[in-house]
Amino acid sequence: MEVKSVVEEYDVVVVGAGHAGCEAALASARMGMDTILFTISMDSVAMMPCNPNVGGSSKGHLVRELDALGGEMGKNIDKTYIQSKMLNVSKGPAVHSLRAQADKVEYTKQMRLTLQNQDNLTLRQAEVSELLYEIVNEDDNVKKVIKGVKTFSGATYYAKAVVLCTGTYLKARCIYGDVVNHTGPNGLMAANHLSDSMKDAGIFIRRFKTGTPARLDKKTIDFSKMVEQKGDEHIVPFSFTNTEEDIKRDQISCWLTYTNEKTHEIIRANIDRSPLFSGFIEGTGPRYCPSIEDKVMKFPDKNKHQLFIEPEGEFTNEMYMGGMSSSLPEDVQYAMIRTVAGLENVKIIRNAYAIEYDCINAVNLNANLEFKDVDGLFSAGQINGSSGYEEAAAQGIMAGINAARKLQGKEPVILDRSQGYIGVLIDDLVTKETQEPYRMMTSRAEYRLLLRQDNADLRLTDIGHEIGLIDDERYAAFCDKRNKINNEIARLNEVMVGGNKKVQEFLEAHDSTPLKTAVSLAELIRRPELDYEKIAVIDEGRNEVGELSPEIIEQINIDIKYEGYITRQKQQVEQFKKMEKRLIPEDINYDDVSNLRKEARQKLAAIRPASIGQASRISGVSPADVSVLLIYLTARE
C-alpha cells in the first residue's frame, strides 16, 4: 500500500507559538499573508513558564511599543491581569514602567482564542523537525533559499518565508540536583530534531540556560509574616486602545518576604550539589536574573534577598516565588524555602529547575531578523539569545512584519535606537555578540528620555498604520490625540499672565515664587510645584479647550517640564542619524582597509554591519577603527 504524506502550501510558516511566535503569526496574517503557526503543544500557546507577569522595568516600554505597532500582548494582558502597578514613579518619566500580574491560564486561553479567530491564520500542533531549502547560484553568489519545513510526522509545508520562534524547546533538558528531564518547560515535550537540520543549513548553534523558582501551595503559606503588596488605585492600560474604565477590576495582592542567614547557610552547605556550580549544566545563564545560588555565592556580604510571593492566577492556589530561581536538589529546596518567614510549613507544588536549550548567535541575522546566509528564514525570541516574554514578543512582531514585507516586495521595517526600545533590543542582539541571555534594561537605551513608555504611540503608531497593523479608526483617534497635545502646548506657550492679585495669590498658595514680569502659562508649568491641572484656576482660556484625557494631560506636562532635556536629546539623535545613514557597501572587503586592527577586521567581516553607526557598536571595534573605515569609504567614493 502506498504511503502518502500531507503536503500543504502557505506564504509564511511560524515555528513555535510562544510570545514571539504569536506576535509573528498575527502580524503576518494581519498583513494578508496565508500563515501557519506550529506549536509542539496547544497547552504551550503563549504560555508563561516562568514569572506570572507582563512588563516591568524597560519591559513595559517594549509592550507599549508593541501595542503602538499593532501587536497583541498589551491587549491580552489588559484582558487577563489580576494586579497592575506603575514602577519607578518616584523617579523621572523616562524610567516609569508598567507591570501587570497575569492569570497565566486565562492569558494563554485568550491569546489562543485570538489566534484561532484570526483570518489568514492556521494554528497547528506538530513538531517541526526539518528546514527545507534549496541552494541557488545568482551572479556567482551561492546562497540558500528557504522553501518550507517538514514535521516529525513526515508532512511537508511549503512556504516563501519561515520564522523560527522555538523559545527554550530545542533539545531542552530541565535539571534540579542530579535529576534530568529531557523536556521543555513545565514538562512539555522538547523539540529534539530541528537543531540538527539548522546545523546542516550552516547555522551555528550554542547552549544557553535559564531557570525558574518553585511554585508553592497557597494554603500552606502564613501571609501574616509577609508585607502585602497591593496594586495601583488608578490603572494604566498597556494597550492604547483601552481606558482605565475599560479594564478596571478588583485586584489580587502579592506579598514580600526575605531570605535570611539561615537560608544562605543551607545553600552554601549544599552548593556542591548544584548543577550550576558542579559544571553539569553547560549552558550560559542570565546575569541579570541569577539563581538564588548565584546571589548567595556572588554577594556574600548580603544577609537577605527579596522574595515576592505572587499568585499564578485567580482560580489556583499555586504561588510563584519570585527571586528564588534555583536548580538545587529537591530536599535542599524544601530546607531553604522553609527558613523564610511565612514559609515555615510550606508545601511545594512544582520544584524549581534550570532549563538548558539550543539557540543561535544573533549576529548571524540582519537587522530585519532574517538570516544572512539563508534567504527567507527569520528568527525571533529566545532562540536569538534573549530572555523574557516581552523581548520575545517584540522580536516576534518585527520578524512577522518583515517576513510579510519581503513577500510584498517592500523594504523591511527596521527601528533604530532613537525610535524605540525595540530598536535598541534588536540592534544589541545583531551587533554585540551577547554571551549570555540578553535582558532589556532602561540603561541600555541612550535616548531614554525620548523613548518613554507613555509616548510609545506618538513614536510608532504612524509606522503601524503604514504597514497595515493599525486600522483607520484607531489611527484617526490617535491623530486627534496628537493634534490636541500639540495645539494645547502651543496655546500654553502663547498665553501670558501677569502679576495680578489672583495670580500672585495662586502662586503663594502653592509655595511658588511671585511674578515680577509676565510669563507664559508654559513657564509656570515648568515649575516643579505646578502642573497643567493646578494652573487651571488662572488659565482663563481653559474652558474653550474642553476636557482633555489624562493621557493627553500627561504628555502636556512632560513635554513642557522636560523641554530643555528633550531638545538636547533630539540634537544627540540628529548626530546619531548621520552615522546610521552612512551606509557600508555590501561587497566591501575588509582586508582591503589598511590600518584596521586584526580584531576589528575579523569582527566587521563576520557581522557585516549595514552602517557606520552599527559598526561603531560592535564589541572589538574601536573609535579609531571607525575613523579608518570612514576614511576608506570616503576615498572609495
pLDDT of residue 595: 85
Integer-rounded Cα Rg, in Å, for the chain is: 26
Work out the mean pLDDT of the chain and round it to a whole number. 94
Cα–Cα dist 419/512, whole Å: 37
Q: What angle do CA 469, 470, 472 make, to 5 degrees?
A: 130
pLDDT of residue 278: 62
Q: Cell 527601528 maps to which residue? A: 415
Residues 528-571 have pLDDT tens digits of 999 999 999 999 989 888 899 999 999 999 999 999 999 999 99
- Architecture (CATH level 2) of domain 215-352: Beta Barrel (2.40)
H/E element, 389: helix 389-407
Q: Detail the DSSP E strand segments found in 445-503.
A: 496-497
Q: How many residues does the chain have?
A: 637
SS3 375: strand
Q: Which three cell numbers stand for residue 562?
A: 522636560
Cα–Cα dist 337/352, whole Å: 11
Residue 479 CA from chain centroid, whole number: 26
pLDDT of residue 284: 67
pLDDT of residue 5: 87
pLDDT of residue 434: 84
Q: What is the pTM of this model?
A: 0.95
Q: Cell 509574616 maps to which residue? A: 225
pLDDT of residue 1: 60
Q: Which fold has domain 7-166+196-212+357-467?
A: FAD/NAD(P)-binding domain (3.50.50)
Q: Which residues pair with 149 in a beta bridge?
A: 131, 157
pLDDT of residue 277: 67
SS3 411: coil
SS3 278: helix
Cα torsion angle, 484, 490, 493, 494, sign:
negative
Q: Which three cell numbers stand for residue 564?
A: 530643555
Residues 397-430 have pLDDT tens digits of 999 999 999 999 999 999 999 999 999 999 999 9
Residue ranges of alpha helices (H) inside 408-471 are 421-431, 456-467
Residues 572-593 have pLDDT tens digits of 999 999 989 999 998 899 998 8
Cα–Cα dist 538/382, whole Å: 54
Cα–Cα dist 235/248, whole Å: 7
Nearest in space to 105 (alpha carbons), one of 54, 183, 40, 52: 52
Q: Which amino acid is at 296?
A: V
Cα–Cα dist 375/144, whole Å: 6
Dihedrals phi, psi of 475, to nearest 5 degrees: -65, -35
Nearest in space to 370 (alpha carbons), one of 420, 412, 408, 409: 412
Distances (CA, A) of 323 to 260, 288, 499: 13, 11, 55
CATH number of 582-636: 1.10.150.570
Cα–Cα dist 515/507, whole Å: 8
Neighbours of 636 (CB within 10 A): 10
Q: Which amino acid is at 223?
A: F
Is the Cβ–Cβ distance between 132 and 150 less than 8 Å? yes
Q: Which three cell numbers stand for residue 441?
A: 534594561
Residues 371-405 have pLDDT tens digits of 999 999 999 999 999 999 999 999 999 999 999 99
Distances (CA, A) of 377 to 224, 324, 366, 432, 591: 53, 37, 11, 21, 29
Residue 392 CA from chain centroid, whole number: 6
The CATH number for 476-552, chosen from 1.10.10.1800, 3.40.120.10, 1.10.468.10, 3.40.605.10, is 1.10.10.1800
Neighbours of 106 (CB within 10 A): 17
SS3 178: coil
Q: Cell 534549496 maps to which residue? A: 134
Q: Which amino acid is at 600?
A: A
Residue 367 CA from chain centroid, whole number: 16
Q: Cell 549570555 maps to which residue? A: 436
Domain boundaries, the chain: 7-166+196-212+357-467, 215-352, 476-552, 582-636
Which ranges of the chain have pLDDT less than 70? 1-3, 277-288
Residue 268 CA from chain centroid, whole number: 34
Cα–Cα dist 292/224, whole Å: 24
Q: Which amino acid is at 96?
A: H
User: In 598-618, which positions are buried (b, 16+ CB within 10 angstroms) versus exposed (e)?
Assistant: eebbebbeebbbbbbbbbbbb
Neighbours of 297 (CB within 10 A): 17
Residues 40-88 have pLDDT tens digits of 999 999 999 999 999 999 999 999 999 999 999 999 999 999 999 999 9
- What is the edge-to-edge ordering of all strands in the sheet holding 318-322? 227-229, 254-258, 306-311, 318-322, 215-217, 348-350
Dihedrals phi, psi of 306, to nearest 5 degrees: -65, 140
Q: Which three cell numbers stand for residue 13?
A: 510558516
Q: Which residues pair with 157 in a beta bridge?
A: 8, 149
> How deeply is 316 buried, as exposed, middle or buried, from its count of CB atoms within 10 A (0-12, 13-18, 19+)?
middle
Cα–Cα dist 459/409, whole Å: 25
pLDDT of residue 398: 98
Residue 133 CA from chain centroid, whole number: 30
Nearest in space to 601 (alpha carbons), one of 622, 579, 582, 587: 622
The helix-helix angle for 389-407 and 421-431 (nearest 10°) equals 80
